[in-house]
Every structure is written in C-alpha cells, then in structure tokens.
Amino acid sequence: MTKPDTTYAPLTVESLPERLGGVAAIANRLGADTSGWGVKEVGDGNLNLVFIVQSGKGSVIVKQALPYVRLVGDSWPLPLKRAYYEYHALIRQAARDPGTVPEVYYFDEAQGLIVMEFFTPHIILRHSLMAGRKHDGMARVLGLYCARTLFRGSDLSMDTTERKNDVRLFAESVELADITETLVFSDPYFEAERNHHTPGLDGIVARLRADVDLKVEAHNMKAKFCNNAETMLHGDLHTGSVMVTDTETKVIDPEFALYGPMGFDIGMLLGNFWMAYFAQPGHAETPGARVEYQEWILGVVSKIWSTFTAEFSQLWRTERTGILYERTLYEDQGHDLASEQALAQRLQHIWQDCLGFAGVEMIRRTLSLAHIAENDTIEDENMRADCEARGLRLGRQLVVNRERLMDMAAVNDLARQIAGEARL
C-alpha cells in the first residue's frame, strides 16, 4: 500500500476544494460535493494564509502556516510548526473559557493547517475601533477570557505533571518566542534593521532611544517575559486577535502561545486599546467628533480590568487546586485571611506587569516592524505622528512608572492628560 503524500504544499483558492474535499470533518459541514464550495483568501495578518470556505450547508475557516513570515517574504523563514502550537492553545483555551475561541474541526500537522469555526458576521475589533463602533459586553468577555485562561493555565490550577508536560510542549516554540523577544523588547530601543516609524517622530524617537531609564525598564520587562513561565499565554493578544459583532466577542489566533508572565496578555490587550484611544482624532469625521468614543474606550479598559480581577479572585477562592497556595496550607488551617493577602499580592504583581507590558507594546507598535492599522491608516502624516507621539508618551510612563500607578483611574487620567496636551 502506498503511503498518502504528506509533503507540505501551500493551498490556493483553486486547489483547496480538491485537497480538502476528502476530509470528513470538513465535508460533514460543507457537503461532499466540492463544486458547491466557495473559497476566498482573506488573510490580512502578518504570517499565514487564511481561507473562508462556504457552501449552502455551512462555513469553515482554513488557516495554513506559510514556511516564512508573510509580511516580510521568504527571506524570513518561519517553521510550519506554529500551527501545532496554535492548535494546542486553541483546545486548551476552549476548555478553560468555553465559547470564546473558535472550535477546531480538523488539524493537519504536516500541512501546518487548522480548520476551524468561522465567526460571521464578526469583524476584527481593530477595524471596528477605527469606525467608532461600540460593542455591548465586549469588555466583560475579554476580562473573563483573560482571568479564566490565565488562572486555569497556571500552577494555581494545574497539577505538577500536567503543568510540566505542558511547559515542555510550548517551550519548543522557539522561533515565535524569539519574534516577541526581539520585536517587542529589543528592536524599538536601537536602530534595528526592520524598524520603521513616521518621519515626524524622528526627534521623539531619538530621545526615547537615548532614555536609559526606559531601556533598562523595558529590558526588565523582557526578563520577566523570558524568565517567568507563570501561565499559558495567548502570546499575541491585541485588538487584531479579537472579533466582534454588536453583541458577541471572540478571541482568535493564539499561534504565539507559550508559558509566560500572567500580566502579559492583558497588558498587550490594554496597550492596544490605549493606542486606539490616541488614534481617534485621526479617524474623526469632524474635529472633536470622537471625544465621547474615546471615553467609551477608557471605560472598556476599566471594565476589562475590573472583570479580570473579580473573576480571578473568584477562581482563586473556588478553583485553587494546583501546585501553588494549596488550600491545605491556607483555608484548611483557618488562614482565610492569609489566602486573601496572597491573592491581593498576586493581583498587585499582575497589575504592575500588565502596565509594563502595555507600555512596551505601545512603543513597539510605533517603532518596530509591525504597526497598528489604527495609526497606519491615518493619511495625514502630521496627524499620524501626533497620535503616535501621545501613545509613545503614555507607553513610556507605563514602563518606567508602573510601580507608582496605583489604579486604572490613575492610568486613564494620565491618558486623558496626554491626549489634552498641546501638540507634542
């Protein structure tokens, strides 16, 4: 018997029906007659091919890794195995926060390919933030998602065997970790080859690169990222990894999943909301038209954080079955207050890390390789530079002063103050 050919080949709109028509998990959803399948390539991310495949019966997403970084081309090779990490992250996230991430229908490791649930009519949150649209319940879903995945993926919840096996699995995702280590924490702080920035920022960028306090603190955040395998992270939780309708919110794209510090995902996410906040004047229909929407964004940030802390606390009190802070040492000894004390300390630690990671994300999305659409689509270069400069200013404050910013009200007030300053 001849073995099936598993040699990797990227899919095309034309080849997809023939190549995947025999996969039962797909045919069951779309029908076996592939002549009725409609295929569209819609990938607008930095790395992969993404196809929507639809028939009269149903729809699926087919995501396939390319052997290189799509944004840059084949001069930057990248292993197909990232699909394997994404698959493992998706099935863990689905168990830890059911209903928030796409269901996986089929995974083919050799082809770097995942077939999964197509969220429709959802759109990428970034586009919605540019259009000035609001989403009921979004902040609550994102806060719950962060609390549940971060808590349940950590040694507050997992036993030692499960935890060590899992850390081992994701520890092999070396190339994706390297991208984050380099692009997020190092490149912005010197004239790295892949960097680019809006020309009007030249003076500010020179000052930031000469700012040794910032460089040291950004590197302290890098040390936390590299050295603290506290939980399984999404690893790339920005507003391009969130899909929304007016009432529903979903989280996608965890191919950068790895074990890292608790504050990383939520910090990246909040950093992206603060950047969207500063970008609003660049999308305003008339001057001042987005002021109320900017306040809505700050409200979202507050709600994500308060939902996160409430849910994390609830999980601490009811699901602490893992290696750390065992109930046998605390509640079972009548030391409930000590348990609450430990919880408060853990949350304070996450809070400070969250601010630091938010800050480095805001700086890297302005100075390093991958920028954000909210800024990139502002055609007026002076306006773009102005929005980006404000983001850089808050980002720097978050990194350097993260231990002095006591609560979300203080951070949002700082954002408002920076937004109200005369041209930077």
Q: Which residues of this protein are in contact with ligand SR1, per CB under 6 A?
A: 46-47, 69, 71, 179-180, 183, 236, 369-370
223 binds, among Mg ion, ligand SR1, none (CB under 5 to 8 A by kind): none
117 binds, among ligand SR1, Mg ion, none (CB under 5 to 8 A by kind): none
Please, which residue, 69 or 229, has the CB nearer to Mg ion? Answer: 69
**Beta carbon of residue 46, minimum distance to ligand SR1 (angstroms, whole number):** 4
Question: In terms of CB distance, is 252 or 419 closer to Mg ion?
Answer: 252
CB of 127 to Mg ion, least distance (A): 15
Residue number with CB closer to Mg ion (72 or 400)? 72
Q: Which does 188 bind (CB under 5 to 8 A by kind): Mg ion, ligand SR1, none?
A: none
The residue among 180 and 397 lying less far from ligand SR1, judged by its C-beta, is 180
Q: C-beta of 156: minimal distance to ligand SR1 in Å?
A: 27
Question: From CA 424, how far away is CA 421, in angstroms rounded?
Answer: 7
Instruction: Compare residues 65 and 115 and give the one whose CB is closer to Mg ion.
Output: 65
Residue 174 Cβ, how far from ligand SR1 at the closest point, in Å? 14
Strands (E) in 154-312, as ranges, are 231-233, 242-244, 249-251, 258-260
- If the CB atoms of residues 126 and 224 are measured against Mg ion, the closer one turns out to be 126
Distance CA 229, CA 141 (A): 25
Helix, strand, or coil (residue 230): coil
Q: How far is the CB of 188 from ligand SR1 (least distance, A)?
A: 12
CB of 84 to Mg ion, least distance (A): 16
Tokens standing for residue 410: 């203080």
The CA dihedral of 315, 320, 321, 325, to the nearest 10 degrees, is 160
106-124 b/e (C-beta count within 10 Å ≥ 16 → b):
bbbeebbbbbbbbbeebeb
Taking the complex as a whole, how short is the minimal distance between the CB of residue 72 and ligand SR1, in angstroms?
7
97 vs 236 by CB, closer to ligand SR1: 236
Best CA proximity match to 241, nearest among 232, 257, 252 = 252
The mark string for 245-284 relative to Mg ion (x by CB under 5 A, - otherwise) is --------x-------------------------------
b (16+ CB within 10 A) / e for 252-270: bbbbbbbbbbbbbbbbbbb
Nearest Cα to Cα of residue 306 among 416, 143, 150: 143
The residue written with tokens 């306090």 in the block is 213
Judged by CB under 5 A, the residue of 11, 16, 37, 45 near Mg ion is 45
Are 13 and 50 in contact, with CB atoms under 8 Å apart? no
Nearest to 179 by CA among 52, 19, 72, 277: 72
Do 369 and 195 contact (CB within 8 A), yes or no? yes
* Shortest reach from residue 25's CB to ligand SR1, in Å: 27
With H, G, I as helix, E, B as strand and everything else as coil, classify residue 324. coil
CB 185 within 8 A of CB 221: yes
252 binds, among Mg ion, ligand SR1, none (CB under 5 to 8 A by kind): none
Helix (H) or strand (E) holding 106: strand 104-108
Cβ-based nearer residue to Mg ion, 155 or 253: 253
Q: Minimal CA–CA distance to 188: which of 396, 368, 393, 385? A: 368
Stretch that binds Mg ion, among 41-49, 301-309, 324-332, 366-374 (CB under 5 A): 41-49
Partner whose binding site includes residue 179, from Mg ion, ligand SR1, none (CB under 5 to 8 Å by kind): ligand SR1
Tokens of 49: 């091919």
By CB under 5 A, name the binding residues for Mg ion: 45, 253
